[in-house]
Chain A
Amino acid sequence: MSDHKTMTLTLIVWRQKNANDPGKFETYTAKDITEHHSFLEMLDCVNEDLINSGKEPIVFDHDCREGICGMCSQVINGVPHGGQERTTVCQLHMRKFKDGDTIYIEPWRAKAFPIQKDLVVDRTAYDTIIQSGGYTSCHTGGVPDANATLIPKEVLDYAMDAAECIGCGACAAACPNSSAMLFTSAKVAQLAVLPQGKPEAAARVQAMLNTMQECGFGNCSNHYECQAACPKGINVKFIAKLNREYLKALFK
Chain B
Amino acid sequence: MQLFKSTVGRKILMAITGQLMVLFVVVHLLGNSSIFIGPNGINAYAEHLHSLGPLVWVFRLVMLTLLLVHGIYGAVVTLENSAANPAKYAMNTKLERGFASENMIWTGLLLLAFIIYHLLHFTARVTPGMTLQNDLQGRFDVFSMVVSSFQHGTIALIYVAAMIVLFLHLFHGIQSFFQTMGWNNDCSRPVISKVGRLVAVVFLLGYSSIPVVILARILT
Question: Does chain A bind chain B?
Answer: yes
The stretch among B4-12, B23-31, B153-161, B205-213 that forms the contact with chain A is B4-12
Closest Cβ–Cβ distance, residue A198 to chain B (whole Å):
17
Residue of A nearest to B172 (CB): A222
Decide if B83 is an interface residue (CB 8 Å cutoff): yes
With A220-B7, A223-B101, A228-B95: A78-B89 Cβ-Cβ less than 8 Å: yes
Inter-subunit contact B91/A106 (CB<8 Å) = yes
Q: Which residues of B, 149-200, contact A by the 8 Å Cβ criterion?
A: 172, 175-176, 179-186, 189
Q: Which residues of A, 49-80, contact B by the 8 Å Cβ criterion?
A: 75, 77-79
Inter-subunit contact B89/A112 (CB<8 Å) = no
Interface of B, helix, strand, loop or mixed by DSSP: helix
Decide if A34 is an interface residue (CB 8 Å cutoff): no
Inter-subunit contact B84/A216 (CB<8 Å) = yes
Chain B residues with a Cβ closer than 8 Å to the other chain, count:
43
Inter-subunit contact A179/B81 (CB<8 Å) = yes
Interface of A, helix, strand, loop or mixed by DSSP: mixed
Closest Cβ–Cβ distance, residue A164 to chain B (whole Å):
14
A69 to B104, CA, bound (A): 36
A25 to B90, CA, bound (A): 9
When distances are taken between beta carbons in the complex, the residues of chain A under 8 Å from B180 are: 222, 243
Inter-subunit contact A212/B93 (CB<8 Å) = no
When distances are taken between beta carbons in the complex, the residues of chain B under 8 Å from A177 are: 81-82, 84-85
Decide if B97 is an interface residue (CB 8 Å cutoff): yes
Inter-subunit contact B84/A78 (CB<8 Å) = no
Q: Which residues of B, 74-131, contact A by the 8 Å Cβ criterion?
A: 77, 80-97, 101-102, 104
Inter-subunit contact A246/B8 (CB<8 Å) = yes
When distances are taken between beta carbons in the complex, the residues of chain A under 8 Å from B179 are: 222, 236, 239-240, 243
When distances are taken between beta carbons in the complex, the residues of chain A under 8 Å from B102 are: 176, 223
Inter-subunit contact B81/A221 (CB<8 Å) = yes
Inter-subunit contact A219/B97 (CB<8 Å) = no
Inter-subunit contact A237/B84 (CB<8 Å) = no
A222 to B90, CA, bound (A): 23
Closest Cβ–Cβ distance, residue B213 to chain A (whole Å):
36
Decide if A92 is an interface residue (CB 8 Å cutoff): no
Decide if B56 is an interface residue (CB 8 Å cutoff): no
Decide if B3 is an interface residue (CB 8 Å cutoff): yes
With A235-B186, A240-B184: A176-B90 Cβ-Cβ less than 8 Å: no
Decide if B51 is an interface residue (CB 8 Å cutoff): no
A243 to B178, CA, bound (A): 10
Decide if A96 is an interface residue (CB 8 Å cutoff): no
With A111-B86, A218-B85: A225-B97 Cβ-Cβ less than 8 Å: yes
Decide if A91 is an interface residue (CB 8 Å cutoff): no
When distances are taken between beta carbons in the complex, the residues of chain B under 8 Å from A77 are: 91, 93
When distances are taken between beta carbons in the complex, the residues of chain A under 8 Å from B89 are: 75, 78, 104, 106, 109
With A111-B86, A240-B184: A219-B10 Cβ-Cβ less than 8 Å: yes
Partner of A176, one of B2, B97, B185, B189: B97
With A104-B90, A109-B87: A243-B182 Cβ-Cβ less than 8 Å: yes
Decide if A39 is an interface residue (CB 8 Å cutoff): no
Closest Cβ–Cβ distance, residue A222 to chain B (whole Å):
4
With A111-B84, A243-B8: A229-B176 Cβ-Cβ less than 8 Å: no
Q: Which residues of A, 151-190, contact B by the 8 Å Cβ criterion?
A: 174-179
Residue of A nearest to B181 (CB): A243
A227 to B82, CA, bound (A): 20
A78 to B95, CA, bound (A): 10
Inter-subunit contact A228/B96 (CB<8 Å) = yes
Other than A106-B91, A247-B12, give 10 A-B pairs with Cβ distance below 8 A.
A77-B91, A176-B102, A206-B2, A212-B7, A216-B84, A219-B11, A225-B97, A237-B186, A239-B179, A242-B8
Q: Which residues of B contact A (CB under 8 A)?
A: 2-3, 6-12, 77, 80-97, 101-102, 104, 172, 175-176, 179-186, 189
* 10 smallest beta-carbon distances between A and B, as pairs: A78-B93, A218-B84, A244-B182, A228-B95, A177-B81, A243-B182, A78-B91, A223-B97, A218-B81, A178-B85
13 A-B pairs whose Cβ atoms sit less than 8 Å apart in the complex:
A111-B84, A111-B85, A210-B6, A217-B84, A221-B104, A222-B172, A223-B101, A225-B96, A228-B96, A229-B95, A240-B185, A243-B180, A246-B9
